[in-house]
Structures are given as C-alpha cells and as structure tokens.
Amino acid sequence: MARITFIQPDGSETVVNVDSGTSVMLAAIRNGVSGIDGECGGCLDCATCHVYIDVSHSGSLAPPQPEELELLGSVTATRKPTSRLSCQLKLPPSITALTVHISGTQS
C-alpha cells in the first residue's frame, strides 16, 4: 500500500491509500480528487493528468520516458522541472508515500 497526498492549488489536501503499482491518475479518479481529468485513460494522448511531484520524491521515482516528455510540452499549466503526467506515475513497492501538487488547469 502507498499513501498519496494530493495538494490542490488552494492548499487543500486529500490523502488516499492505494495498492502499489496503481497510477497516480487512477488513484485520483477513483477517489474523486478534482483537478486531474485523465481524459485518455492513461494512453499518453491528452496531457490532462499533469501534476507536480514534491521535490522530496524527485530522485526516487522512475524518470519520464521520451513519450511522456514530449507530451509534457503540451500541458496548459506552467511546465516545471517537477512536472509529470500522473498516468505514468506508478508507485513501486519501495515507495510508501508520495505528495503531488495539482497543476490548476488541465485543458
């Protein structure tokens, strides 16, 4: 199990517990977390699942693959070094907690 903390642009937080291997996008959708649309269902075709990972986790997650990096070029909110597409963020068993900041606009 892993605990994901979603932080909205207004600072409000939602904490959800998910099985390891679940994508951050699915964790948000299944738990009614607003601000992550996930329109393509995780097929790397929409960029509506943009989040910023907390800097404390940046070294412990697998880096984005070229397809994700390319699609990050079309996000509507400001792209930052910590930008990720949450459908591609799957937590390995070694990570039991993750904090992500929701970007504010998705489309």
User: Which residues are near ligand FES by CB under 6 A?
Assistant: 25, 38-40, 42, 44-49, 71, 85, 87
Least separation in angstroms between CB 43 and ligand FES: 6
- In angstroms, the Cα distances linking 83 to 1, 19, 47, 49, 95 are 24, 23, 11, 10, 19
* 15 bridge partner residues: 5
Find the residue with minimal CB distance to ligand FES. 87
Residue with smaller CB distance to ligand FES, 19 or 45 = 45
- Phi, psi (5° rounding) for residue 30? -65, -20
CB of 25 to ligand FES, least distance (A): 5
